[in-house]
Amino acid sequence: MPLTIIADSLELLIRISIALIAIVISYYLGGLLSNYVRKTKVRAAPEVIYNLARAIKLVFLFIGFLVALSVVGVEISGLLIAAGFAGIVVGLATQQTLSQVFAGLSMLVEGRVRVGDSVRVGDDWGVVEAVGIMSTQIRLWSGEVVTIPNSDLMSSKIYNYSKLIARRVEISVGISYRSDVSRALNVIRTLLEDKELVLAEPPPTLIVDSLDEYAVKIRILFWVPSQEFWTVRREILREIKEALEANGIEIPFPQRVVWLQKGIS
């Protein structure tokens, strides 16, 4: 009888040792493959690489625990069935959370937005600071950080300006009716042609757009590298004003002409 107890104890000790070895090996292999994925040079966003490496590590660790339980003598099939039912219950209870997770994974795989992208989502316009599994953070131009659930982001229109190689600038300028329109167009066109960051193709377009109450409106369209959009736009606005004034072309402000008639006595 004592020999049987010793043999059973020895067998259990061996099983536990093998189970622990299985967990250690799975953890080591998962970490090894995870590090390999992180160091591999592939065309993917850092967020995708990080989350993929993390998932691989967790999968290997989960497999190691299953093997360990099997070695110890735990019935895996029953455990998997129970886990399946538990998963269904948890899934129903956390449906919204799972929706966020799947939306986050979809965004990471598709690469719709990446850290550093200039985006507009609805009325929110700024730079992407973080793309997570559950939500995405955008730092607005006003300085605040807005956190948007990934499921909401997936169902919204995302305007990603960082994916554009070039971006069109549109400016409207008014000149007085007393000014020479053709001369104003030539001054603006020459200014745009001399700007290094204004693209020659497609060429700038200048249109006499409308005859307003107090000004002749000129619509100016030209293309610039997307990363230089705001810088060039600010410079061009200032330089157009200076160039028009230097050439004697008036940029009017709203005004009214009032005629006074003397009463007949």
Indicate the burial class of 228 (C-beta count within 10 angstroms; 0-12, 13-18, 19 or more): middle
pLDDT category, 246, cuts 50, 70, 90? Answer: very high
- pLDDT 10s digits, 66-93: 777 776 666 666 555 555 555 554 444 4
Residues 136, 148 contacting (CB under 8 angstroms): yes
Indicate the burial class of 68 (C-beta count within 10 angstroms; 0-12, 13-18, 19 or more): buried
Q: Which two tokens stand for residue 32?
A: 């090894």
Q: Distance between CA atoms of 141 and 199, rounded to whole angstroms?
A: 26
Provide the 8-state DSSP code for 122: T
What domains can you pick out in the chain, each with its CATH number?
A: 2-93 (1.10.287), 112-163 (2.30.30.60), 166-246 (3.30.70.100)
Give percent of the chain above pLDDT 90. Answer: 18
Q: Distance between CA atoms of 245 and 251, rounded to whole angstroms?
A: 8
- pLDDT 10s digits, 102-142: 666 666 666 677 788 888 888 888 888 887 767 788 888 88
Q: What is the pTM of this model?
A: 0.47
Indicate the burial class of 82 (C-beta count within 10 angstroms; 0-12, 13-18, 19 or more): exposed
